[in-house]
Structures are given as structure tokens and as C-alpha cells.
């Protein structure tokens, strides 16, 4: 697989319909067939109430009718103030709020902030006709649960609402999340503040929807294996490990229907997708001592030939940790099953990675990759298998 600068990597590719793991089912239940033996689906949609707020009447009707057709009980409002008044009356239990961002008077972000002060746990999905860095920041900082870009297809709307409302639990998924929390917490013993700040991001934003948790753990372990012959300090190695674990954290700010789109992104969607490294860095900003981790997050899609993003860095201008990480990320993508193709062997993945040395990857770093034995990579895969 050649990973072009203007194409999505496997880890950015959505999951088409098939029998997927519980993790994938949790992340995108409408695109996958859940394994009913290990998943508990809560109440049926008919018992769920969704509030829709949009000043544009045709859009409001479209959203309400789509949700009603999906079995949800729907209450719709033309502005934030009326919606707030109804919510404040407390007449009905509400399971989710769906709001346009650009509305006269109280906009969607103001509505979100106000509702969150009263009910911090209510899932709130924002909808907008545009997505830029400032808007994505605003939505994330205000605590938006998710984000949809107009136009919104019925399947995207129902899939997203279902994921947040019809809670799907997997014991295996919870076990992996707990294990990750423990490992981050253990590393934080010497720097409690840093980890205290990192854990909520990790739990609430970083891994909630798009990557299998095990992928992140494997990529982190692969990166450390390759970096073992580098003269890194203990702290630098720790930063490499955590930066790798959090590499795609910024995808939390990418609209759901862009992130999970089946098929090729158009130019507008691709521009939005390419915001995620910067968004990730912005999420980590303000947490003390995460500068080196942020370098990995910002630079993980740069290419050695300068054809990557977001900064189009080339050669040694790309931080060394990010150059090591990008091989690990591709190795894991190539050696993992995807819905549209089976996993490649380690030998085939090695050939492919060598093929793009000098363009995608730093040839010098390839030496580090070659020094890691097959059995070591395989041991990592065994330690962190895809959850099934
Ligand atoms: Fe990845
Ligand atoms: Fe990424």
C-alpha cells in the first residue's frame, strides 16, 4: 500500500459493512454488524428523545423527520432561547441535543455552553455548513460531543445519534480502556499534574470514536522498539510513547460525517481532515510539559519528501520521533485486517515500507526498523490484539 499525501491512510479509512469487532461496532455501529454475544444494546430508539434546534425551517424539518423515521421522539425549536426555556421546564427527559451553530441571537455554541452548565452529561451534537480550525476549537472547548458538516445524510445523522444515545457497551472495550488508563497513570507517578490533565482528554475525547485502542497501543510499542538504539533520555522515550498513543487525538474535532465517510473525500472534506494534527496539538496545549508529545501529534502526517501535512516539512526538519512513528503507523495498518482487505504478512509489509523509503519515510530510520526482529513485532501484536 502506498500512502499518498493526498489520500487517507488506513487508519483514516471508515469501516464498511461486515462483521466487525466490538470496538469497531462501538465506534461506528451503523456501519458495522455488532457481535451480539458480547455487546449489550440499551433501550430501543422509540424511548429516546432528541431535541433539534435550527433556525432554518426546511433543515429543521429534515432533521426532525429523519430522526422520527429512525424511531426517535423529536422536539424541534427555531432558536436557542425557546429550546432553553423548554429544557428548563424539565417536562421530559432528553437524551440528546442537536443544534445548528450559526443562528441569529443565541448561536449553537452559546446554547451548548449554557446547557452544559446545567447538564454536563447531556450529549450535544453541533451542525454547521463550514468547519475551520476556529470553529472546531470552539466546539471542542465548549464540550460538544460530536459535530456534523452540512449536508447531512440520513444515515450519518441516525448513525451518530444512535452511537451516542443507544449506548453500546463492550466488556472487552472497557477492559482495554481501563488498562490504558492504568498505564498512563503509572507513568504519571513522577508528574501527577501532567497525567491528571491528560487522562480526561484521553478518556473523553482522544479515543472515543475513530481508532481502535489496540492500534494506538501497538503503534506506541512499535515506535519504542524502533527507537531503542537512539540515544534518547528516559523522558524523551516517555514522550515518544505518549505522543504515539495520542497521535490522532485531533480527529475528535473533525465532523463525524467527514471522519467516517465511506469512500473518497472531496477537496473540501480533505481540507477539513487535514486540520486534525493542529487540532491535536491545540488540545494538548496548556497541559504542562507535553511539548515533545505535541511534536509527534503535529508531525505524524509529514513525509520525508515534503509532500505531507500540515507543515509540508521535509527531511530532518521533521522531528525524529515523528519520522520513527510514521513507519510504525504504516506497519500496523498494513499488518492489520481491514474490512476491504486482509492483513498483509510482516514480510510483505517490510517490502512495501522499503519501497517508499526516501519518499514517504526517512531511509536512515529504516535501519532502525530493520533492526527490530519479526518476533518482536509479532509479540507486540499478541500483547495488544484487536479486540474480538
Ligand atoms: Fe494511526
Ligand atoms: Fe492522523
Ligand 1 centroid from CA 323, angstroms: 14
Ligand 2 centroid from CA 275, angstroms: 10
Highest mean pLDDT among 5-9, 101-105, 302-306: 302-306
CATH class belonging to 10-17+169-181+191-383: mainly alpha
Instruction: Give the span between the Cα atoms of 196 and 189, in whole angstroms.
Output: 10
Ligand 1 centroid from CA 300, angstroms: 9
pLDDT at 67: 95
Q: Collect residues with CB below 5 Å from ion ligand 1.
A: 11, 329
Ligand 1 centroid from CA 332, angstroms: 8
Local confidence band at 12 (pLDDT 50, 70, 90 cut-offs): very low
Fold topology of 43-166: Rossmann fold (3.40.50)
Instruction: Give the span between the Cα atoms of 8 and 24, in whole angstroms.
Output: 18
- Do 77 and 51 touch, CB atoms closer than 8 A? yes
Task: Please state the domain extents for the chain.
Answer: 10-17+169-181+191-383, 43-166
Q: Using H for helix, E for strand and C for coil, what is the string for the chain?
A: CCCCCCCCCHHHCCCCCCECCHHHHHHCHHHCECCCCCEEECCCHHHCEEEEECCCHHHHHHHHHHHHHCCCEEEEECCHHHHHHHHHHCCCCCCEEEEECCCCCCCHHHHHHHHHHHCCCCCEEEEECCCCHHHHHHHHHHCCCEEEECCCCHHHHHHHHHHHHCCEEEHHHHHHHHHHHHHHHHHHHHCHHHHHHHHHHHHHHHCCCCCCHHHHHHHHHHHHHHHCCCCCCHHHHHHHHHHHHCCCHHHHHCCHHHHCCCCCCCHHHHHHHCCHHHHHHHHHCCCCCCHHHHHHHHHCCCCCCCCCCCCCCCHHHCCHHHHHHHHHHHHHHHCCCECCECCCCHHHHHHHHHHCECCCECHHHHHHHHHCCHHHHHHHHHHCCCCC
Ligand nearest to the CA of 250: 2
Task: From 51, 132, 122, select the one nearest 86 (Cα to Cα).
Answer: 51
Look at residue 177 and tell me whether its pLDDT is greater than 90.
no
Local confidence band at 1 (pLDDT 50, 70, 90 cut-offs): very low
Ligand 2 centroid from CA 114, angstroms: 32
Look at residue 32 and tell me whether its pLDDT is greater than 50.
no
Q: What is the pLDDT of residues 112-162, one digit of tens each?
A: 999 988 888 888 999 998 888 888 888 877 888 888 999 999 999 998 898
Ligand 1 centroid from CA 11, angstroms: 5
43-166 matches 10-17+169-181+191-383 in CATH topology: no
- Do 378 and 162 touch, CB atoms closer than 8 A? no
Ligand 2 centroid from CA 171, angstroms: 27
Ligand 1 centroid from CA 339, angstroms: 16
What is this structure's pTM? 0.76
Q: Collect residues with CB below 5 Å from ion ligand 2.
A: 248
Ligand 1 centroid from CA 362, angstroms: 18
pLDDT at 215: 87
Output 179 or 239, whichever has higher pLDDT.
Answer: 239
pLDDT at 211: 58
Q: What is the pLDDT of residues 64-113, one digit of tens each?
A: 999 999 999 999 999 999 999 999 888 888 999 999 999 999 999 999 99
- Do 149 and 128 touch, CB atoms closer than 8 A? yes
Look at residue 264 and tell me whether its pLDDT is greater than 60.
yes
Ligand 1 centroid from CA 247, angstroms: 7
Amino acid at each position: 500500500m502506498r500512502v499518498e499525501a493526498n489520500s487517507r491512510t488506513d487508519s483514516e479509512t471508515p469501516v464498511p459493512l461486515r462483521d466487525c469487532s466490538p470496538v469497531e461496532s462501538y465506534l461506528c455501529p451503523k456501519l458495522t454488524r455488532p457481535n451480539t454475544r458480547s455487546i449489550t444494546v440499551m433501550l430501543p430508539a422509540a424511548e429516546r428523545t432528541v431535541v433539534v434546534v435550527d433556525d432554518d425551517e426546511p433543515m429543521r424539518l429534515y432533521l426532525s423527520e429523519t430522526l422520527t423515521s429512525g424511531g426517535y421522539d423529536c422536539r424541534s425549536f427555531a432558536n436557542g432561547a425557546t429550546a432553553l426555556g423548554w429544557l428548563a421546564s424539565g417536562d421530559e427527559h432528553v437524551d440528546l441535543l442537536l443544534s445548528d451553530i450559526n443562528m441569529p441571537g443565541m448561536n449553537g455554541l452559546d446554547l451548548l455552553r449554557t446547557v452544559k452548565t446545567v447538564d454536563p452529561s447531556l450529549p450535544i451534537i453541533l451542525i454547521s455548513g463550514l468547519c475551520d480550525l476556529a470553529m472546531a476549537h470552539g466546539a471542542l472547548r465548549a464540550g460538544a460531543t460530536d459535530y456534523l458538516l452540512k449536508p447531512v445524510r440520513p444515515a450519518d445523522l441516525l448513525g451518530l445519534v444512535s452511537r451516542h444515545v443507544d449506548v453500546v457497551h463492550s466488556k472487552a472495550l472497557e477492559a482495554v480502556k481501563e488498562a490504558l488508563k492504568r498505564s498512563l497513570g503509572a507513568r504519571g507517578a513522577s508528574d501527577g499534574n501532567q497525567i491528571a490533565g491528560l487522562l480526561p482528554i484521553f478518556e473523553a475525547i482522544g479515543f472515543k470514536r475513530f481508532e481502535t485502542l489496540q492500534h494506538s497501543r501497538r503503534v506506541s510499542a512499535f515506535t519504542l522498539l524502533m527507537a531503542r538504539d537512539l540515544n534518547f533520555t528516559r523522558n524523551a522515550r516517555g514522550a515518544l510513547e505518549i505522543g504515539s498513543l495520542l497521535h490522532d487525538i485531533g480527529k475528535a474535532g473533525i465532523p463525524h460525517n467527514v471522519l467516517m465517510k465511506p469512500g473518497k473525500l472531496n477537496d473540501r472534506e480533505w481540507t477539513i481532515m487535514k486540520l486534525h494534527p493542529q487540532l491535536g496539538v491545540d488540545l494538548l496545549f496548556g497541559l504542562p510539559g507535553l511539548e515533545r508529545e505535541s511534536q509527534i501529534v503535529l508531525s505524524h502526517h509529514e513525509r520525508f519528501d515534503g509532500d505531507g501535512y500540515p507543515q509540508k516539512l521535509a527531511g530532518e526538519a521533521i522531528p525524529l520521533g515523528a519520522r520513527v512513528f510514521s513507519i510504525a503507523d504504516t506497519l500496523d495498518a498494513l499488518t492489520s485486517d481491514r474490512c476491504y482487505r486482509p492483513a498483509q504478512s510482516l514480510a510483505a509489509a517490510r517490502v512495501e515500507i522499503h519501497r517508499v523509503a526516501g519518499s514517504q519515510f526517512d531511509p536512515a530510520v529504516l535501519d532502525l526498523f530493520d533492526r527490530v526482529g519479526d518476533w518482536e513485532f509479532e509479540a507486540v501484536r499478541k500483547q495488544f490484539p484487536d479486540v474480538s
